Amino acid sequence: MATRKSTAKTTSQSNTSREELLKFYREMLLIRRFEEKAGQLYGMGLIGGFCHLYIGQEAVVVGLEAAAEEGDKRITSYRDHGHMLACGMDPKGVMAELTGRAGGYSRGKGGSMHMFSKERHFYGGHGIVGAQVPIGAGLAFADKYLDNGRVTFTYFGDGAANQGQVYETYNMAQLWELPVIFVIENNQYAMGTAVKRSTRSPNLWERGAAYGIAGEEVDGMDVLAVKAAGEKAVAHCRAGKGPYILEVMTYRYRGHSMSDPAKYRSREEVQKIREERDAIEHVRELILQGTHATEDELKEIDKEIKAIVNAAAEFARESPEPSVDELFTDIYAEAANG
């Protein structure tokens, strides 16, 4: 992963308002504390099935959401809780879905990987690696057809980036100049396989060149850099220039999913990145150095976030399991005209 350049830090600090820094801090912390709580509930047997935590990658989605406008769309893989929280979905509804309760976004029938929100333009949550990529282009096709100026953020991993359907999608997206931002969340691993073991060409974003698609690499541990790159990509799409690729260099601190033998990397590797590159710590430092807030004020924010997460967990535990009747709902779409 590229090391953080001190010049980027200086620029970010001078250009970013107190409000925005605090907003980033709050949003990233919400994801981290929510995910920690989800990990605990999983350990207590309250969450069944798959559960992939986003801890470490928070700056990616928070930075890109800061570049989005109301009505823009997003779609991602199974590592999706952070994306839901960042686009404004209710932590209570997300946690209740994780625990399979009726108060969840899919009424307890979807779980971690299968949640959607039409109101927040969040199109899932997809368990099949890479499957969301052509769907993301399809969403962008609809927006282009409707000429509504909207952009779709299509997130996928470094592992997914080796799939054929990604390149078929690149070709069509560029051919039709679709307003889609392909966001490769390069967290260095696909389950237990390091990028360098699966991929000879190290720069995944450069593969877009074969299709004429512009792109760039971004430091995904610096939320300000992510936002700046996101704004550039959004402007490109909204100007009708077609798709854009952002390869965001990030790192996941936890296992691939809840069971992970962790034999493919050392504890020291994870520890080093946590200590030296953590995105939340970075923003915390910017806030304190710029005297935008005191330690005590940040502690107050920590408390508020904890309370939101505890309330979500409480809601999830108290929400009933879905009734048996729910087995027969959400199977077929209702026909509009009877």
Ligand X SMILES: Cc1ncc(C[n+]2csc(CCOP(=O)(O)OP(=O)(O)O)c2C)c(N)n1
Q: What b-and-e string marks burial along 276-313, b requiring 16 or more CB atoms within 10 Å of the CB?
A: ebbbbebbbebbeeeebbeeeebeebeeebeebbeebb
CB under 5 to 8 A by kind: which of ligand X, Mg ion, none does 255 bind?
none
Which CB, 158 or 222, lies closer to Mg ion? Answer: 158
Considering the complex, state which of residue 92 and residue 256 has its C-beta at the smaller distance from ligand X: 256
Q: Which is nearer to ligand X, 12 or 132 (CB)?
A: 132
In contact, 163 and 170? CB cutoff 8 Å: no
Shortest reach from residue 157's CB to ligand X, in Å = 2
> Going residue by residue from 256 to 275, which x/- string records binding to ligand X, judged by CB under 6 A?
x-------------------
Q: Which is nearer to ligand X, 161 or 313 (CB)?
A: 161
Of 72 and 158, CB closest to ligand X: 158
x/- map, 122-161, Mg ion, by CB under 5 A: -----------------------------------xx---
User: 321: which DSSP letter?
Assistant: P
**Exposure of 324 by Cβ count < 10 A (0-12 exposed, 13-18 middle, 19+ buried)?**
exposed
Is 93 in contact with 81 (CB distance < 8 Å)? no
Which of 157/242 has CB closer to Mg ion?
157
127 binds ligand X (CB under 6 A): yes
Contact between residue 180 and residue 137 where contact means Cβ atoms under 8 Å apart: yes
Among 21, 38, 129, 137, binds ligand X (CB under 6 A): 129
Residue type, position 113, single letter = M
Q: Which of ligand X, Mg ion, none interacts with 129 (beta carbon under 5 to 8 A by kind)?
A: ligand X
Sorted by sequence, the CB contacts under 8 Å of residue 165 that are 6+ apart come out as: 130, 131, 133, 134
* Contact between 191 and ligand X per CB under 6 A: yes
CA atoms within a 13 Å half-sphere pointing along the CA-CB vector of 155: 31
Q: Residue 6: is it exposed, middle or buried by C-beta count within 10 angstroms (0-12/13-18/19+)?
A: exposed
**Least distance to ligand X, CB of residue 130, Å:** 6
Q: By C-beta, is 115 or 249 nearer to Mg ion?
A: 249
Map the footprint of ligand X across residues 228-257, applying CB under 6 A. Answer: 256
Distance between CA 95 and CA 41 in Å, rounded?
Answer: 10
Under the criterion CB under 6 A, does residue 205 sit at the interface with ligand X? no
Q: How many residues comprise the chain?
A: 338
Q: Please say whether the beta carbons of 298 and 281 come within 8 A.
A: no
Q: Is 111 in the site for ligand X (CB under 6 A)?
A: no
Q: Which residues bind Mg ion (CB under 5 A)?
A: 157-158, 187, 190
Q: Which residues bind ligand X (CB under 6 A)?
A: 77, 79, 127-129, 157-160, 187, 189-191, 256
